């Protein structure tokens, strides 16, 4: 029983982290209807940014996270205007986005391998303290608890942005109907560029936390992260950013339970979940709510 309680609590912590992993991917799709196959690679860049900031400058990962969020939001504007408008003018932007961002992913990975090498790296976990966190009689690494709380704060910030700000209202109008939003005077491209930057920033934030939740980082991690992110957003509902919370929790709980009881099969979790959701409810568990965003 104690092992089950430990697995469930750990699953909730990992679920919040994985919700953050998928949130940026789902936000970008919800606003622009494009699939960012380089999502995991931007997360990887965020991870290495935190690693080098800590290793070379002694900068605490949480400070690195704040700096990276700002930097990746700013990076999103030129990347959006360079890549996205041409996609949106095409006949099939969703399919072309697969091809384009697959190429972006390959370029980022190749450059990262040249710059960082293939060696796995990690950040000394006690940066968050050596005292473990106790919950319901179970103890967990402090890094897990801090990462879960930071993930929850980031998710809450996205909620406040989407549902409590004027820019968020306009962004949701674009998500509902891009053409109507354009005719009503909303600056669609400016808000889409902001959403794209926020999506990259969320990936970078998850990247900063990934050495503590995943154990190590390397330039090849992007593909696996993108696969996991796809599983998460499809579980919750593709195009519904806040549905990613449910997807992340389901994914995190499934992963930790598999690692506890069937560890040799745990690598199959994202693929099994994808197959199950696509067979049972292809539109995702929260598809009905997605139509009212």
Query: So what's the pLDDT on residue 127?
Result: 87
Task: Evaluate whether 226 touches 105 at the Cβ level (below 8 Å).
Answer: yes
Query: So what's the pLDDT on residue 291?
Result: 41
Domain ranges of the chain: 2-116+139-290
Per-residue pLDDT, averaged over 207-236, amounts to 92
Rg of the chain in Å (alpha carbons):
19
Per-residue pLDDT, averaged over 35-63, amounts to 95
Lowest mean pLDDT among 106-120, 193-207, 237-251, 257-271: 257-271
Query: So what's the pLDDT on residue 165?
Result: 95
292 pLDDT band, cuts 50/70/90, is very low
User: What digits encode the pLDDT tens for the residues 13-39?
Assistant: 999 999 999 999 999 999 998 999 999
Query: So what's the pLDDT on residue 290?
Result: 40
User: What digits encode the pLDDT tens for the residues 154-195?
Assistant: 999 999 999 999 999 999 999 999 889 988 899 999 999 999
2-116+139-290: CATH, from 1.10.3470, 1.10.1330, 3.30.499, 1.10.150: 1.10.3470
Dihedral (CA of 83, 86, 89, 95) sign: negative
Per-residue pLDDT, averaged over 83-109, amounts to 91
Average pLDDT, the chain: 90
Four-CA torsion 268, 270, 276, 281, nearest 10 degrees: 180
Task: State yes or no: pLDDT of 74 exceeds 50.
Answer: yes
């Amino acid at each position: 029983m104690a092992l089950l309680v430990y697995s469930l609590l750990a699953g909730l912590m990992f679920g919040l982290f994985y919700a953050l992993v998928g949130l940026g991917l789902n936000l970008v799709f919800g606003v622009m209807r494009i699939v960012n196959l380089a999502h995991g690679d931007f997360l990887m860049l965020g991870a290495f940014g935190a690693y080098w900031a800590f290793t070379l400058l002694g900068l605490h990962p949480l400070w690195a996270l704040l700096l990276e969020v700002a930097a990746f939001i700013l990076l999103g504007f030129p990347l959006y205007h360079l890549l996205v408008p041409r996609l949106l003018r095409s006949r099939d932007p969703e399919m072309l986005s697969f091809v384009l961002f697959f190429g972006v992913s390959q370029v980022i990975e190749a450059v990262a391998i040249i710059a960082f090498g293939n060696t796995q790296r990690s950040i000394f976990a006690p940066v968050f303290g050596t005292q473990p966190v106790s919950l319901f009689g179970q103890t967990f690494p402090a890094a897990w608890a801090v990462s879960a709380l930071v993930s929850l704060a980031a998710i809450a910030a996205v909620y406040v942005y989407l549902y409590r700000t004027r820019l968020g209202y306009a962004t949701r109008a674009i998500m509902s109907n891009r053409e109507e939003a354009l005719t009503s005077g909303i600056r669609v491209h400016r808000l889409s560029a902001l959403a794209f930057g926020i999506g990259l920033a969320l990936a970078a934030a998850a990247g900063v936390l990934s050495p503590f939740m995943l154990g190590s980082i390397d330039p090849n991690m992007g593909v696996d992260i993108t696969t996991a992110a796809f599983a998460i957003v499809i579980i919750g509902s593709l195009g519904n950013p806040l549905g990613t919370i449910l997807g992340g929790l389901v994914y995190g709980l499934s992963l930790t339970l598999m690692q506890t009881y069937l560890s040799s099969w745990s690598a199959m979790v994202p693929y099994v979940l994808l197959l199950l959701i696509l067979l049972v409810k292809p539109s995702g568990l929260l598809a009905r709510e997605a139509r009212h965003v």
